[in-house]
Structure 1
Amino acid sequence: MTTDAKVGVQSGTWQVHAIKYADRNARTRADSFLFDDNHDAPHAMDYFMWLLRDGDRVILVDTGYDHAEAKRRGRPIRLDPGEALAPFGLTPEQITEVIVTHLHYDHAGGLALFPNAHLHMQEAEMAFATGPCMCHDVLRDPFTAGHVCEAVMRLYGGKLTFHKGDSQLADGLSLHCIGGHSRGLQCVRVKTEAGWMVLASDAAHYYENVLSRKPFPIVVDLQDMMQGFERLTSLASRPELIIPGHDPLVCTIFPQDLAPHIRRLDVGPKTNALATISSEFGK
């Protein structure tokens, strides 16, 4: 953290924290990769939000999902997303900006928990989630109508900014539309002490998706997903600074900070991170 950040002055270099609020172990590699030879092997998934801080400016990236959604989908959460912010000394009401990477339930399912937040979203995502593609069950399944309606309510309340493609949100912070997994999926590029970091969200669920160019099975446009892997690589200073949306390895290669469910990302990963990541491929 820079001196400017400590005294509340924005520096353009951000603190970045990964906040784990849930996990799911009853999965296989077939749930994570198309065309995988080891498809029956177990493959766990973690669920994250991310907190960005530069001086007095605090931005939450995604919101997780709440206990009601957990019960509805049979996917329990370990922590309420609002309560998960407590180690930062923050309440949900104090969050005034949320970057919504996309509107799937596990990324936008907690929007209602942050009533004062102004949202940043790709216009393509809103069009997708409210358009004719939602007539198809398989495309609609990762969305929940109430979460989409909450985003629409923010729009009508003047608390939503649409972005189209690449957009500079602040010094050292930009948004980039990737698509693939969802039509308007965006990643977040952040300047950190360790270099340019990319919060991939679901543009890469796992390191293996992006580093081995292996697509995730829930996909709207496979070409966009594959090109997205190239884009993530070009945006990050080095491969280990691409932060996948659901990889348990994030909790292995980055140091714990403030609480067991929080990892500090902006200081960079531990030594030999790429070797650790690669050793997990194919297990």
Structure 2
Amino acid sequence: MSDWEVHAVKYADRNARTRADSFMFDDNHDAPHPMDYFMWVLKRGAEVILVDTGYDDAEAAERGRPIRMNPVASLLPFGIAPEDITQIIVTHLHYDHAGGLHLFPNAKLHMQAAEMAYATGPCMCHDTLRMPFSAGHICEALRRLYSGQVIFHDGDAQVADGVTVHRIGGHSRGLQAVRVRTMSGWMVLASDAAHFYENLTDRKPFPIVVDLEDMLNGFDTLARLASRHELIVPGHDPLVTQFFAQGIADHIWRLDTGPITECLS
């Protein structure tokens, strides 16, 4: 079968952040450290798989974290209407990755069984662990489950020819990365298994974590899954917009053609 196109779709950013928000064990906690927010589109001919959904204006207002573009609007350059999406890989159920599930009513959701158990289990009694989740998003995932629109995976699994998912954990119990066969080789969408390139290169954990050992081991898993290091795409790093070519719109970058400049080593 042919290779997949991979597109990073930026829908939000938060620039009033510091390195303390991004890294544990960092010596320069007060320095600025912005964050970008992405969804990803996989295309192969008429086939489309959406990876994560971003979050909508209501969630943005609730959290005081504005978005630049509604998730549905962000997909318009592809000619994709929300009802056209039939498959969504949910890397995890945090608000910024699953906050738009309700916008795509016809989609089946691919997620790790461990993530649903985590988001609906006793760990959510802890305010710190519950903070990145929103109850409405979890209820939407449960509605999909009861309407037969959830496909659960337990570890490594194939979603389509050339598209596999791999449970990483760490940041969230059932966090999964996505491995995609592209013209450049096997590309890995790390999602929040590596928010930034620096998580990988310096092995600095992200502060929101349920299992630190899983997070650290996950850095090695990402490296094994990718054909080469520069084909690991972090989930929130603004450097992605520098390392890869501009796509079909100002908020979209083409990933499958490979980086246009040298990534961090």
**TM-score category, normalised to shorter length:** over 0.9
The alignment-based identity, stated in percent, is 71
1:203 has 2:193 as partner: yes
CA contact (8 A) 1:175 1:186 kept: yes
> In the TM superposition, what whole-angstrom CA distance separates every residue of 1:201-244 from its partner, at most 9, and x where no partner exists?
00000000012111000000000000000000110111111000
Q: TM-score, normalised by structure 2?
A: 0.99
**2:263 equivalent to 1:263:** no
Q: Aligned letter for 2:129?
A: L
SS at 2:250 equivalent: strand
Structure 2 equivalent of residue 189 of structure 1: 179
Instruction: Give the Å deviation of 1:88.
Output: 0.2
Structure 2 stretches lacking a partner, 5+ long: none
Deviations, residues 109-163 of structure 1 (Å, cap 9, x unaligned): 0000111111000000000000000001000000000000000000000011000
Q: Which residue of 2 aligns with 1:102?
A: 92
TM-score (normalised: structure 1): 0.92
Matching residue of 1:28 = 18
CA distance in 1, matches of 2:19, 2:255: 26
Distance 2:223 2:203 in 1: 11
Q: Which of 35, 38, 41 is the matching residue for 1:51?
A: 41
Q: CA RMSD in A?
A: 0.8
Secondary structure, aligned partner of 1:34 = coil
Once the 2 structures are TM-superposed, how far is the Cα of residue 57 of structure 1 from its aligned partner?
A: 1.3
The reply on whether 1:91 has 2:107 as its aligned counterpart is no
Are 1:37 and 2:14 an aligned pair?
Answer: no
Judged with a 3 Å threshold, the aligned counterparts in structure 2 of structure 1 residues 12 and 123 are, in CA distance, closer, same or farther, namely: farther
Q: Which residue of structure 2 aligns with residue 70 of structure 1?
A: 60
One-letter amino acid matched to 1:92: P
Q: Within 1, Cα distance between the matches of 2:90 and 2:161?
A: 19
Are 1:125 and 2:115 an aligned pair?
A: yes
* Partners of 2:22 and 2:199 in 1: CA distance: 8
Task: Work out the number of aligned pairs and report it.
Answer: 265
> Which residue of the partner structure matches residue 114 of structure 1?
104
How far apart in 1 are the matches of 2:44 and 2:154?
24
Tell me which residue corresponds to 1:4. none
Structure 1 gaps of 5+ residues are 1-10, 279-283
Aligned-partner Cα distance in 2 for 1:145–1:159: 19
CA distance in 2, matches of 1:158, 1:246: 31
Distance 1:154 1:239 in 2: 36
